[in-house]
């Protein structure tokens, strides 16, 4: 959101409320920073305390507009904004945790999203297909959800993400990967919903067929430890390369030949358009959100979610055809910059803020 905040701060006074750990990341923005801890997982007592702190804060600051992102943060912010009588309360949906749940957990989590919509005056969704999904599930009333441009929460920055041959060589040298080797990249949290176990199984199959292919995993461990991925890959574990969370994803995009996101749920797939801008085609699951980021057969290949065999075949198709990868990478880069540029995204967000505040 940095690009948005920098532009918005030129016209209005901005306050950022986030985890105390984020202070360093946000220090270069022209905005007031207020630390507030909100745990990712449910914690009733601490969540209630956070809600009380928000209501007091909102009443003290007399905000004209509050804008939240992330599920639990959104529920607390929209409720606090309603209690504090903030006139414009906006939330951005970036994916649904309950999309892969069943039973009472799905119902409870879906209820929380419905409450967000109830207490919000305006709702943004970061992809058209996600908006359609929310409408079909009865979470979002027809006509209430808005999408900025063609999707994405912030667009892609062409100054950071672009084909970079020098960076490609540097990162591969750092990781001990040969210049001629084919690199499959996954960048995101290592968890089941991201399809990490499917990718590990697919890569073990691909590696067993021969060929000079490696898999690079970039991101923090969650419910799938890297040791589990190594176990699945067995004798081919030496072809795995692991990097923890990075604030510089563009470095690894530049080093990749194929980006892979076999996710079970996504709001949009921001990393896909970042890879695309870097000239890297994507193999990904055909689910809402991702279908907005990938043009199947032109900028990448989509496969049925959870179908490991289809994932293997899609990856093999790109691994075995250098020219197809080059064509798809070029088309992906052109599409990402034409439809999802951060400059265009920020301009439209700024216009929306201006319209809402003008009404106010």
Residue 360 has pLDDT above 80, yes or no: no
- Give the pLDDT confidence of 306-342 residue by residue, as tens digits: 999 999 999 999 999 999 999 999 999 999 999 999 9
How far CA 112 is from CA of 84, 87, 118, 162, 267, in Å, comes to 19, 21, 10, 39, 17
Instruction: Kindly state the average pLDDT of the residues 11-26.
Output: 88
- Of residues 132, 155, 158, the one with CA closest to residue 144: 132
Task: Supply the mean pLDDT for the chain.
Answer: 95
Q: Please tell me the predicted confidence (pLDDT) of residue 151.
A: 92
**Range with the lowest mean pLDDT among 35-49, 104-118, 234-248?**
35-49
Residue 40 has pLDDT above 80, yes or no: no
More confident residue, 144 or 228: 228
Fold of 2-155+342-359: Rossmann fold (3.40.50)
Residue 301 has pLDDT above 90, yes or no: yes
Q: Please tell me the predicted confidence (pLDDT) of residue 168.
A: 97
79 contacts: CB under 8 Å, gap ≥ 6: 51, 115, 119
Residue ranges of the chain that CATH labels 3.40.50.2000: 2-155+342-359, 165-339
- Give the pLDDT confidence of 161-180 residue by residue, as tens digits: 999 999 999 999 999 999 99
Distance between CA 139 and CA 114 in Å, rounded? 5
Q: Please tell me the predicted confidence (pLDDT) of residue 26.
A: 77
Fold of 165-339: Rossmann fold (3.40.50)
- The answer to whether residues 288 and 132 touch, using CB atoms and an 8 Å cutoff, is yes
Instruction: Kindly state the average pLDDT of the residues 187-200.
Output: 96
More confident residue, 109 or 39: 109
């Amino acid at each position: 959101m940095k690009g948005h905040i920098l532009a918005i701060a030129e016209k209005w006074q901005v306050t950022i409320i986030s985890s105390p750990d984020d202070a360093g990341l946000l220090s270069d923005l022209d905005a007031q920073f207020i630390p507030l801890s909100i745990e990712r997982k449910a914690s009733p007592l601490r969540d209630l305390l956070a809600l009380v702190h928000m209501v007091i804060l909102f009443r003290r600051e007399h905000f004209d507009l509050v804008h939240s992102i992330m599920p639990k943060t959104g529920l607390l912010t929209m409720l606090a904004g309603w209690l504090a009588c903030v006139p414009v309360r906006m939330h951005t949906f970036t994916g649904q945790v309950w999309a892969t749940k069943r039973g009472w957990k799905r119902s409870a989590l879906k209820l929380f999203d419905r409450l967000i919509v109830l207490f919000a005056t305006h709702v943004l969704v970061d992809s058209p297909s996600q908006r359609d999904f929310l409408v079909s599930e009865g979470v979002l009333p027809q006509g209430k959800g808005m999408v900025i441009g063609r999707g994405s929460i912030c667009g892609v920055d062409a100054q950071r993400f672009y084909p970079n041959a020098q960076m490609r060589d540097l990162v591969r040298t750092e990781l001990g990967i040969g210049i001629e080797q084919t690199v499959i990249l996954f960048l995101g949290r290592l968890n089941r919903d991201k399809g990490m176990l499917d990718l590990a199984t697919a890569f073990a199959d691909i590696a067993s067929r021969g060929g000079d292919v490696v898999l690079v995993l970039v991101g923090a461990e969650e419910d799938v430890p890297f040791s589990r991925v190594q176990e699945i890959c067995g004798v081919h574990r030496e072809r795995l390369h692991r990097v923890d969370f990075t604030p510089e994803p563009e470095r690894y995009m530049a080093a990749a030949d194929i980006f892979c996101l076999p996710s079970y749920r996504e709001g949009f797939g921001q990393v896909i358009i970042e890879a695309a801008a870097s000239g890297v085609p994507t193999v990904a699951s055909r689910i809402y959100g991702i279908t907005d980021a990938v043009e199947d057969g032109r900028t990448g290949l989509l496969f049925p979610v959870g179908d490991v065999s289809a994932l293997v075949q899609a990856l093999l198709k790109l691994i075995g055809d250098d020219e197809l990868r080059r064509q798809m990478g070029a088309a992906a880069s052109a599409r990402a910059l034409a439809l999802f540029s951060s400059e265009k995204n920020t301009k439209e967000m700024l216009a929306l803020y201006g319209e809402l505040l003008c009404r106010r």
